Structure 1
């Protein structure tokens, strides 16, 4: 049975393998730059109401908090939230940060009845859930009219390219791209065009599309080790929003707006 992935068993490994290396640095830096450039209210002194849905260890929440925003951080992993809570304890004590452990879909029902958010971030979650359509609908229900959804997900296109480069012809033939159970390769990589179609069906306007980890993931490891994070970041930024490259990064970042009429 395909169920949503909980990282309670891998919280420390996840922290080290994802955020303790260039992969995580690039992912966070590129998505944050996109947010601050496209949404001036993130960094102009405004106070926004933000839901970091499936925010795990709280790296993105921390960026929002540093800008003075009110943040609701949720995840299904109590262990990951415990790590985040310890690091962000001061913000919790000041009432700027609220942390809750619950499935995103359940939280959405509760939150939609109480409040609507100016910004919802949902990064690297969609590829771990069984029902992407339900998750997207849940997020949209909690977004205020005129609000923004920042959605980043593991890209099926990039996985196909990677298997071509590696010569994994049987995987390509059978279209078997899911990661092994218990590992850190997501089981449900998403097709960007299908995700966009679902968002538009829900009434959102896709305002920006960008590849995340484009340059880094196409390089052989030996070459990658000789290049600086800063240089790879700039090349990703230069090409990441262009056709056809936006749809070829290891992750795709979409910035979507909910019309005032919804």
Structure 2
């Protein structure tokens, strides 16, 4: 499998993922986790941030607002064009660099204090190569915010729906060309891979717990704020951190 490129469907991706409660919840959870878990020095201006596979740049926007310097790369020119529009207020500030490149091929001239890689691992063919590149880009004592589509949640969802043949065959990949990720990741496998690269897991959290456990009719009757509150209450506990639709890991390079 090659890395997925969203050229040709970037607008659809933007609309379906981010203009929806599920996208809103995902973004809100990650923002709160970073605000509460990152050391103060990484919330200050004048640090270097790499938004790896950053898409249209929602996480970059937070960093730019803090006065930080951001490199946002993506393989998709269409996604970068959307990012340029979303982040137009910073186009002349000197803070932002937009680079069309795979994560594995990005030329890095200096290490980054904070590396952000959200919802990317499930779209790449070689997870190990991507993790190597991300780790190599971190400064000593740098941090990485990593979020990925969770295999455990997909298995649970198929059990709830009674998709016994999918479960038997372990056939969980989305249809080619669709917006369901083809490579859901096992949280334990990802954590082991990070620790093998010398990274310490500082925090772990399940993202979108309650929303994805509910039927569509129930979701429509519950507020996003209420579901977010329940997610936050349980998301870092055992075993729930490993059951969210996504898993968010915050790592430090020791």
Is the 2:42–2:114 Cα contact (8 Å) retained in structure 1?
Answer: no
SS at match of 1:151: strand
Is the 1:42–1:67 Cα contact (8 Å) retained in structure 2?
Answer: no
Q: CA deviation at 1:150?
A: 0.4
2-side partners of 1:253 and 1:87: how far apart?
24
Q: CA deviation at 1:40?
A: 4.0
Equivalent residue runs for 1:142-221 within 5 Å: 142-221=137-216
Q: CA deviation at 1:64?
A: 1.2
SS at match of 2:140: strand
1-side partners of 2:41 and 2:9: how far apart?
31
Is the 1:51–1:73 Cα contact (8 Å) retained in structure 2?
Answer: yes
Length-normalised TM-score, structure 2: 0.98
Structure 2 unaligned segments of length 5 or more: list them. none
* Structure 2 residue corresponding to 1:240, chosen from 227, 235, 240: 235
1-side partners of 2:226 and 2:197: how far apart?
37
* Structure 2 residue corresponding to 1:137, chosen from 132, 137, 156: 132
Q: CA deviation at 1:43?
A: 7.4
Question: How many pairs does the alignment contain?
Answer: 254
Length-normalised TM-score, structure 1: 0.95
Is the 1:179–1:185 Cα contact (8 Å) retained in structure 2?
Answer: yes
2-side partners of 1:51 and 1:39: how far apart?
15
Is the 1:210–1:240 Cα contact (8 Å) retained in structure 2?
Answer: yes
* Structure 2 residue corresponding to 1:128, chosen from 123, 127, 132: 123
Root mean square deviation of aligned Cα: 1.0
2-side partners of 1:122 and 1:224: how far apart?
28
Equivalent residue runs for 1:10-49 within 5 Å: 10-41=9-40, 44-49=43-48
1-side partners of 2:203 and 2:42: how far apart?
18
Mean alpha-carbon deviation: is it higher for 31-40 or for 121-130?
Answer: 31-40
Q: CA deviation at 1:87?
A: 2.1
